[in-house]
């Protein structure tokens, strides 16, 4: 298997990097929600020197995002280098995602080439991994730190030399993860378990001495920092608890208690299979059953970390004072992905070496997932079930064709190719879909038409009203004011001022927004502004010069449209 399999990780890395970058540019939708806007605004403040490390003056403790410095800190540097735009805003999550693939390639390309290729594909082509590269969210960045932490722990315990350096690095990486998102705590049970085993076996003492010493020093300095600036050393914990208290009406103990049993029993499995992670779960289980055949490999480490992390996600709580299970949304699973995908890589390696020992079971398990779902994601499971079934049936150790002989380069290449092809289907579908936000067209209109020295009012939708300053690099021309459509009959114009109507047809039909935020159609908006003159158009984004309703009859008609909205 060596001649071709040694190149498999190299080819896979190139494919994953190119595919990820293509997805990033072809599917970018601009800002998604309040979170990425807040992170971007903090990055701008940091770059401009106006960021202040102070608690909320009203004591509301409502914004934990401000404490995640390694999310917006690197973005501030990118703003200084590249300016403020949506690409520089989301470049850090993209680089972190690509970094995960590069690290897996660097560590395992020679020792476990098939594992490296499979893990890069399972992690890098997972739809929600790709989706999160487009937004300034902390999850893929945390995933990068989680992978680095785990590999540092693994390498530090295997290296007889420089254990103090490995231990100190382990502590630093976990601190970096903490400064990105609090859910690095997913790994804490595993860390404590490994520490207990090493204490009991009297092993790796220097590694743990350095890790604990540096960790305590960093944590002490961190708590002292908060004590100085907020007069509360546990400010960040209290911030999280206050958020849980504020949202308790929707949690499983107060507002949704009847669903608690389902949440901690079968719902996580339904959720994981529904997001496409069932493939990695099935392959990881195969690796667990075949682990005894490879006692010297890293499979046991990644399996233990994957299933301890999964257990924490399944049963853990977001609060220290009340039991509130972690939300079942895809971005909350990113700490699970590196160990799970690496463990699954060992499962695929075992199949490619001995297909008849597990191939039919893998095919049946994946076929069961496809039958259970009845959604488009079933194609993922059905396609791989077909591969495992056919590959097992065609496998022949005496065949002349290498692609049919287990434990050969050809058979391994075919398996990795099948995995890449099936995992690519869903991302390719979204890469071909038209934009739902028309961000770049809207940006073009704003940059070309709504700049100084123009003065007046711009009427915009309820989504853009919350982040229009991003399009100006947070420096809106002083002569321009932005108002909601519903304010059309109540905004007076000063001498020399004009009024414009900006209509983004994609925003007004975006299903993510029309469920709650956008309650009106383009026809409703245009009816509110009967006197309008087209100024510019880019795709489905249109700019009109309008005359706001000011007469009693127009006010009444506008009020009717406002009520319909």
Using an 8 Å Cβ cutoff, are 548 and 493 in contact? yes
Reduce the DSSP state of residue 544 to 3 states and report it. strand
Cross-strand pairs, 373: none
What is the H or E stretch that residue 456 is in? Answer: strand 456-460
| Alpha carbon distances (Å) from 493 to 125, 305, 496, 497, 549 | 52, 62, 8, 6, 11
**HEC secondary structure over 268-300:** HHHHHHHCCCHHHHHHHHHHHHCHHHCCCCCHH
Using an 8 Å Cβ cutoff, are 193 and 301 in contact? no
The predicted structure's pLDDT at residue 251: 66
Report the alpha-carbon distance of residue 11 to residue 428 in Å, rounded: 19
Strands (E), 305-377: none
Using an 8 Å Cβ cutoff, are 444 and 471 in contact? no
Name the strands in the sheet holding 480-484, side by side, starting at the edge strand that comes first in the sequence: 480-484, 456-460, 498-504, 541-546, 532-538
Residue with tokens 């929707």: 250
Cross-strand pairs, 545: 500, 533
Residues contacting 534, CB < 8 A, separation 6+: 542, 543, 544
From first to last of the 565 residues of the chain, give the pLDDT tens digit. 455 677 999 999 999 999 999 999 999 999 988 899 999 999 999 999 999 887 665 555 457 789 999 999 999 999 999 999 999 999 999 999 999 999 999 999 999 999 999 999 999 999 999 999 999 999 999 999 999 999 999 999 988 788 999 999 999 999 999 999 999 999 999 999 999 999 999 899 999 999 999 999 999 999 999 999 888 898 888 888 777 776 666 566 666 667 788 888 999 999 999 999 999 999 999 999 987 777 778 999 999 999 999 999 999 988 777 788 888 999 999 999 999 999 999 999 999 999 988 899 999 999 999 999 988 999 999 999 999 999 999 987 777 677 788 888 899 999 999 999 999 999 999 999 999 999 999 999 999 999 999 999 999 999 999 999 999 999 999 999 999 999 988 888 988 899 999 999 999 999 989 888 999 999 999 999 999 999 999 999 999 999 876 544 343 333 343 333 3
Residues in the chain: 565
Burial class (CB in 10 A: 0-12, 13-18, 19+), 453: exposed
The predicted structure's pLDDT at residue 112: 94
The predicted structure's pLDDT at residue 59: 52
For residue 370, give the nearest of 361, 378, 358 by alpha carbon.
Answer: 378
**φ and ψ of 273, to 5 deg:** -65, -40
Residues contacting 86, CB < 8 A, separation 6+: 28, 30, 31, 439, 443
CA 278 to centroid of chain Cα atoms = 18
The predicted structure's pLDDT at residue 242: 77
The predicted structure's pLDDT at residue 559: 39
Reduce the DSSP state of residue 503 to 3 states and report it. strand
**φ and ψ of 59, to 5 deg:** 70, 25
Number of CB atoms found within 10 A of residue 140's CB:
28
Q: At what angle do helices 409-432 and 337-353 cross, to 10 degrees?
A: 140
What is the H or E stretch that residue 551 is in? Answer: none
Is this prediction's pTM over 0.85?
A: yes
Ramachandran region of residue 214, left (φ > 0), alpha (ψ -120 to 50) or beta?
Answer: alpha
| Alpha carbon distances (Å) from 306 to 116, 126, 162, 187 | 16, 16, 27, 9
Residues contacting 553, CB < 8 A, separation 6+: none
Residues contacting 87, CB < 8 A, separation 6+: 28
The predicted structure's pLDDT at residue 25: 97
Using an 8 Å Cβ cutoff, are 515 and 525 in contact? no
Using an 8 Å Cβ cutoff, are 467 and 136 in contact? no
- Tokens describing residue 267: 């719902």
Burial class (CB in 10 A: 0-12, 13-18, 19+), 242: middle
Report the alpha-carbon distance of residue 86 to residue 77 in Å, rounded: 14
Alpha helix (H) residue ranges in 202-328:
205-230, 235-246, 260-263, 267-274, 278-289, 299-315
| Alpha carbon distances (Å) from 251 to 61, 204, 323, 332, 456 | 19, 42, 9, 16, 45
Using an 8 Å Cβ cutoff, are 96 and 146 in contact? no
Cis peptide before 453 (omega within 30 of 0): yes
């Amino acid at each position: 298997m060596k001649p071709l399999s040694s190149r498999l990780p190299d080819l896979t890395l190139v494919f994953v990097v190119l595919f990820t970058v293509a997805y990033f540019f072809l599917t970018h939708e601009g800002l998604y929600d309040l979170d990425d806007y807040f992170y971007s605004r903090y990055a701008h403040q940091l770059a401009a020197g106006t960021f202040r490390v102070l608690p909320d003056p009203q004591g509301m403790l409502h914004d934990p995002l401000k404490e995640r410095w390694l999310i917006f800190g690197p973005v501030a540097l990118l703003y200084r280098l590249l300016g403020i735009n949506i690409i520089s805003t989301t470049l850090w999550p993209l680089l972190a995602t690509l970094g995960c693939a590069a690290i897996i390639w660097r560590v395992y390309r020679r020792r476990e080439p098939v594992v490296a290729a499979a893990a890069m594909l399972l992690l890098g082509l997972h739809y929600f991994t790709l989706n999160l590269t487009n937004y300034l969210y902390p999850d893929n960045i945390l995933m990068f730190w989680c992978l680095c932490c785990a590999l540092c722990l693994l390498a530090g315990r295997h290296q007889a030399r420089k254990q103090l350096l490995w231990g100190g690095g382990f502590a630093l990486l976990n601190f970096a993860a903490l400064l990105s998102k609090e859910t690095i705590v997913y790994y804490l049970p595993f860390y404590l378990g490994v520490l207990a085993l090493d204490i009991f076996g009297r092993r790796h003492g220097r590694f743990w001495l350095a890790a604990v010493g540096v960790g305590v020093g960093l944590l002490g300095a961190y708590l002292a920092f908060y004590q100085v600036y907020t007069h509360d050393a546990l400010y960040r914990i209290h911030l999280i608890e206050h958020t849980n208290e504020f949202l308790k009406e929707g949690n499983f103990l107060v507002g949704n208690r009847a669903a608690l049993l389902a949440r901690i029993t079968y719902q996580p499995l339904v959720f994981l299979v529904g997001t496409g992670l069932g493939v990695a779960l099935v392959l990881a289980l195969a690796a667990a059953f075949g682990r005894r055949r490879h006692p010297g490999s890293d499979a046991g480490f990644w399996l233990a970390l994957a299933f301890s992390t999964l257990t924490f996600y399944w049963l853990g709580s977001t609060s220290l004072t009340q039991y509130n299970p972690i939300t079942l949304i895809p971005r909350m699973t990113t700490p699970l992905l590196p160990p799970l995908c690496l463990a699954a890589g060992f499962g695929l390696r075992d199949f490619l070496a001995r297909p008849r020992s597990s191939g039919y079971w893998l095919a049946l398990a994946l076929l069961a997932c496809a039958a259970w779902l009845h959604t488009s994601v079933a194609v993922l499971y059905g396609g791989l079930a077909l591969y495992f079934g056919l590959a097992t049936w065609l496998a022949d150790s005496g065949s002349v064709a290498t692609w049919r002989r287990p434990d050969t380069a050809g058979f391994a290449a075919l398996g990795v190719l099948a995995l890449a092809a099936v995992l690519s289907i869903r991302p390719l579908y979204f890469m071909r879909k038209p934009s739902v936000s028309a961000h770049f067209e809207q940006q073009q209109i704003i940059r070309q038409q709504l700049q100084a020295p123009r003065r007046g009012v711009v009427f915009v939708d309820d989504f853009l009203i919350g982040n229009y300053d991003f399009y100006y690099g947070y420096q809106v021309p002083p002569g321009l004011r932005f108002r909601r459509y519903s304010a059309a009959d109540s905004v007076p114009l000063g001498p020399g001022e004009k009024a414009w109507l900006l209509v983004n047809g994609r925003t007004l039909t975006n299903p993510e927004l029309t469920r709650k935020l956008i309650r009106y159609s383009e026809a409703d908006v245009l009816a509110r502004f009967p006197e309008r003159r087209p100024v510019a158009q880019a795709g489905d984004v249109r700019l009109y010069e309008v005359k706001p309703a000011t007469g009693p009859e127009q006010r009444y008609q506008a009020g009717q449209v406002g009520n319909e909205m």
